[in-house]
Chains A and B, each alone.
Chain A
Amino acid sequence: MAGATKSFVERPRSLRVLREEIAGGKTRAADLAAAYYDRIEAVNPHLNVYLSLTKERALEQAARVDILAAKGDPLPPLAGIPVGIKDVLVVRGAAATAGSKILEGYCPPYDATVVTKLDAAGAVLLGKINCDEFAMGSSNENSAYGPVRNPVDTERVPGGSSGGAAAAVAANLAVATLGSDTGGSIRQPASFCGVVGVLPTYGRVSRYGLIAFASSLDRVGPFAANVRDAATMLTVIAGHDAKDATSSPMPVPDYAAESDQGVDRLRIGVPGEYFGEGLDPEVRAAVESGMAALERAGCTVKPVKLPHTKFAVPAYYLVATAEASANLARFDGVRYGYRSKSPENLSSMYRHSRDEGFGAEVKRRILLGTYALSAGYYDAYYLKAQKVRRLLAEEFLRAFAEVDAIVTPTAPTPAFKLGEKTGDPLAMYLADIYTVTASLAGICGVTVPCGKTSTGLPVGMQVLASHFHEGTAFRVARAVEAAG
C-alpha cells in the first residue's frame, strides 16, 4: 500500500540531562512518566512496541523520586528515568509472555535481578516490550502478539529479537530499555532502528529472571539513544549475583566515565571476513566512514584475520537450538501458563499444550536442537559445533592480542521489509552472520549508528572488545558517534 509508510522517530533527551533536571526540581519524575505514557498511548498502536504497561508501579516510583528530589536528598543514578523492559525478563506481578501464547496468564511472583537493580537505581519501569517468541528471530515477526514496526519506516522490521526494545528508544517511548542478546538480538535491532545497543561480556550481567533460550549464550544488555547513556545503564545492571552461578565477580567500573577517555592511539582491527559477499554496498560505505572517523580521532586501523567466521552461523544454530530444546522442555502446561483444553491423559496434555502454545519458529528450533542432540547425531552436530566454537573463541583472543577493538558492520543489510524473509528460515538466520561470532566467543560489543543509506535507513557499526573490556568498546563507539 503506497503512502502507508510513516516515521515515528523522536530522539529521547539524554539521561544525564533529565536526571539533572529532576534533581534540580525543573522536571518532576511524575510528569515525565505521565508524558511518556501519553506518547505511548498515541504511538504504540502504530508500532506495537509495548505489550503491557506497569503504570501503578511506575507512578509510585516516580513519586518516591520526586519526594527525594524535593528534600534535596542525593538521587540514585537513574532517578526518574523512564525505561522499558523486553518481555523475556520478569517483573513481579506483570504479565510475562516472552512473545509466546504458552505463557498466557503467567504473572511472575518475582523481579529479575536486573529489574531489582533498575528499581534500586530509581528508574521508572514503564512496561513490558514486545519481542520474537522466546527471543527466537531476527525481525520481531515471530511474536505471538504481532510484529513490531520500525519507527524509521513502518513497512520495515525493527530487527529482532529485541525489536521492540530498539524501536522504543528510536521512537522515544522510553529513554532506555533492556533487551537480551543470544546471537545478535540486541545488536542487530539497534542497527536497524538507529540506536545504541550493548552486548555485555558473558557473565557481566545476571540472567536471574531472564526466560532462558540458550544458557551458554544468553545475555542481558541495554539500549539507549547515545553511547554514554548506554554505558550508564550497563554500570547499573552489571555485577555478580549469587542467583546466577555464571555471573562474574569482576568489579564493575564506571563505564560512562570510561567512555569519556577518548581513543587516541587505540588499535582497531578490521576483519576482511566481515566485508565479503552479501554485504550491502551502502552498509559497507557507512561502516567505512566510521572507520575513517576513528583514524581521524587518532586510532590505528589495521587488518586482522578471523578465518573461521564463515562457520559461525552453522555452529551457532546447532548450539543455540540444542540448548533451547532443553530449556523449553519446562513449558508443559503443569505449573504456569497455557494448558490445552482437550487432554486425554498426561502425555497428550504435554504434547497438545506445547503444540498449541508454541509458534512455528520455536517448534522448528526445538526439533532441530532435539535432532542435533539425539543418538547417532550428537557427535556430528552438537559436539562438532562446540569444537568449532572453541576455534572461533580462540581466534578472537589471538586477534585481541594485537588490537584493542575490532569493528565490523552489525548486519549485512539495513532493515528489510515485513514479510520479506518469513518464508525462508535460512535467509532469516543469515541476518545474524556478523553477530553470532561474538555470542559464541563470549566477548562484548557495542552497536553504534555510523550513517544512513540513501533512503534514510540507519546503519550500525559493531565495535567488539575482549572479555570484560566494555570500557574500550564504549570509547570507540563514542568516537564513531561524535563523528556522525
Chain B
Amino acid sequence: MTARVTVEDVGRVAELANLELTPDESAQMLKDLNAILDYVAELKDLDTSGVSALAQVSDLSGAEAGSVLRPDVLLPCLDRATVMHQAPETDGAFFKVPKVIER
C-alpha cells in the first residue's frame, strides 16, 4: 500500500493540526507529503512481526538508563504575575481569548 495523499487529505490533516493553509501552501504540502510518504514506504518491506514498539529508550533492556520519579509533593511554582505578563491578552488573573460561541 503506497498512500497517495489527496488535497482533501491535506485539508483534513491541517484541520486536525489547527493550521490554516493558503491554496498555494496546500498544493506545495500535497507534493511534499507524497514525496516523503513514498520514501518512507520502504519500511513496509521490513518484516517487524513479533517486534514490539519502542516508544522510549528507557524501555530498552541493556541500556542502563533508569529514570526516577520525584516524590509527589507540592513545590513552589512560577509567580502568577510573571507568567500572566507574557500573555498576548490578559486581565491579570486570566488569559483572554476571542469569543468561543456565537449567539
Contacts and interface: CB of A to CB of B under 8 A. Distances in A.
A397 B63 contact: yes
Contacts of A332: 18
Contact of A203 (B32, B42, B58): B58
Given A333-B88, A363-B25, A368 B20 contact: no
B57 A364 contact: no
Nearest to A344: B98
Nearest to B69: A245
Given A363-B29, A387-B48, A425-B35, A335 B86 contact: yes
Contacts of A425: 32, 35-36
Interface in B13-28: 13-14, 16-22, 25, 28
A334 B40 contact: no
A79 to B, nearest CB: 29
B93 interface: no
A103 B93 CA distance: 22
Contact of B48 (A203, A391, A394): A391
Interface size class of B (residues with CB under 8 A): 35 or more
B13 A370 contact: yes
A72 B14 CA distance: 61
A106 B52 CA distance: 41
Nearest to A430: B39
Interface in A330-369: 332-339, 343-352, 354-355, 358, 360, 363-364, 366-368
Contacts of B29: 363-364, 367
Contact of B19 (A245, A246, A363, A467): A363
A355 to B, nearest CB: 4
Contact of A354 (B16, B20, B70): B20
A387 B40 contact: no
B68 A336 contact: no
A427 to B, nearest CB: 10
A248 B87 contact: no
Contacts of A338: 88
A442 B17 contact: no
Contact of B67 (A245, A314, A329, A385): A245
A366 B51 CA distance: 27
A314 to B, nearest CB: 4
B78 interface: yes
Interface size class of A (residues with CB under 8 A): 35 or more
A370 B53 CA distance: 19
Name which of A360, A390, A397, A426 has the most chain B CB atoms within 10 A of its CB: A390
Contacts of B53: 383, 386-387, 389-390
Contacts, number: 193
B70 A245 contact: yes
Interface string B51-75: 1111111101011111111100000
Contacts of A325: 17
Contacts of A245: 67-70
Nearest to B40: A314
A109 interface: yes
Given A106-B86, A388-B48, A393-B60, A246 B67 contact: yes
Contact of A467 (B25, B52, B65): B65
Given A318-B40, A336-B87, A387-B51, A109 B13 contact: no
A109 B40 contact: no
B25 to A, nearest CB: 7
B13 A393 contact: no
A441 interface: yes
B102 interface: yes
B64 A336 contact: no
Given A380-B1, A390-B52, A374 B16 contact: yes
A371 B65 contact: no
Given A332-B18, A352-B20, A358-B19, 13 more contacts: A105-B86, A109-B83, A110-B78, A248-B67, A249-B66, A349-B97, A368-B37, A380-B3, A381-B40, A383-B53, A393-B57, A425-B35, A429-B36
7 nearest CB pairs, A to B: A442-B57, A386-B53, A390-B54, A314-B40, A339-B88, A351-B20, A387-B48
